[in-house]
Structure 1
Amino acid sequence: MEIGLNSMKKFIALLFFAPILSMAQNKQDSVWLPLKFMIGKWRGTSEGQPGKGTYERSYELVLNKKFIEVKNKSTYPPSKDNPKGEVHEDHGFISYDKGRKSFVLRQFHMEGFVNQFKNESISPDGKTIVFLSESIENIPAGFRAKETYQVISENEFIETFELAEPGKDFELYSKATLKRVK
């Protein structure tokens, strides 16, 4: 069987480019190492200003692994302090900003809020990750927000969400413990 010149060129090109493409993919995958524990489906409970509630959340690598898509639903049953109860949904994306060498989290809330957070820190052991708000749309000027993820294990983490009114310190809004379901 005779191999044609075009086939030989394609084979040589494949041999040359395959390692380069593989290295590029490995580099893209390694960007997500500090947040890789998040990938999957989670359920949990929370407490805080809205009351005691339940969470359903997912984190998924999307769009050629360039983003992590976040889908969240929090349900708070009626209580003394919140007689109507509450269902909250938000969707978001985490990206990696190469220029700033930082993760950026953008959340879109059903109430119309849009939060943009920048990763402030990741502890040396990778078990505490902090995001601080850079901007919050559709809320009075000067409000700030902070999200902290504390990794308990590969199957459990605690998320603390804090808000600060203009000129004030952060106060706990909600604290959720999430466990992996998939």
Structure 2
Amino acid sequence: MKKLLLIFLLSPVAIYGQMTKQDSVWLPFKSMIGKWKGTSEGQPGKGTYERSYEFVLNKKFIEIKNRSTYPPSKENPKGEVHEDHGFISYDKGRKTFVLRQFHIEGFVNQFKIESISPDGKTIVFISESIENIPAGFRAKESYEIVNLNEFKETFELAEPGKDFELYSKAILKRVK
């Protein structure tokens, strides 16, 4: 009788603790949800990042807000502040994730997942289209999950007919 009572009392906990189908679709990105700060280096110079990933619109999308600051340097005397906002969605028809980024400079990048490593620690997006840049350019954005509190991001660009080249590499650490 005590076992039956224990099962009865704990069954609501088990039911509510289970993941919904909507939650499970986001498993590859679950560890990225939160607020992050980090450093970067690359073609724009050495900079600092502030970024957030959060579920929005009834967990149908992940919204990304990014601000990168590059102080004045010899190569870039005025420095630079870059902002972009993005959304990751799951395209049920194509059965793939899509990342759309809207940049302060007017670029709009649309990426789709190229790969997620078997251990889930490396996610690679390849551009499908880039608005407001000469035709033929491609971009690649890769995330390497180091642990629950750190990930690395690599952003690469390829001119028409050329291979990808590193544009920037960032290391971000969780602040919240």
How much has 1:101 moved relative to structure 2? Answer: 1.0
**Is 1:161 matched up with 2:155?**
yes
Q: What is the number of equivalent residue pairs in this alignment?
A: 161
**1:63 equivalent in alignment to 2:41:** no
Residue 123, structure 1, aligned to residue 117, structure 2: yes
**CA drift at 1:99:** 1.1
Shift of residue 85, structure 1, vs aligned partner: 0.4
The code of the aligned residue for 1:131 comes to F
TM-score computed with the length of structure 2 as normaliser: 0.89
Identical-pair percentage: 86
What's the counterpart of residue 144 of structure 2?
Answer: 150
Q: What secondary structure, in the 3-state scheme, does the structure 1 residue paired with 2:22 have? A: helix
SS of structure 2 residue aligned to 1:37? helix
Segments of 4+ moved more than 6 angstroms: none
One-letter code aligned to 1:134: E
Structure-2 residue corresponding to 1:34: 28
| Structure 2 unaligned residues grouped into runs of 5+ | 1-14
Deviations 1:62-120 (A, max 9, x none): 00000000000000000011111000000010000011111100000000000000011
State how far apart, in whole Å, the 2-side matches of 1:73 and 1:96 are: 24
Larger Rg computed on CA atoms? 1
Secondary structure of 1:99's counterpart equals coil
The runs of 5 or more residues in structure 1 that have no matched partner are 1-21
Root mean square deviation, CA, Å: 1.5
Given the alignment of the two structures, is residue 171 of structure 1 paired with residue 165 of structure 2, yes or no? yes
Structure 2 distance, partners of 1:154, 1:83, is 36
Show CA shifts across 1:111-153 (max 9, x none).
0000000011000000100000000000000000000000000
Q: How does 1:1-182 map to 2 (within 5 A)?
A: 26-182=20-176
SS at match of 1:121: strand
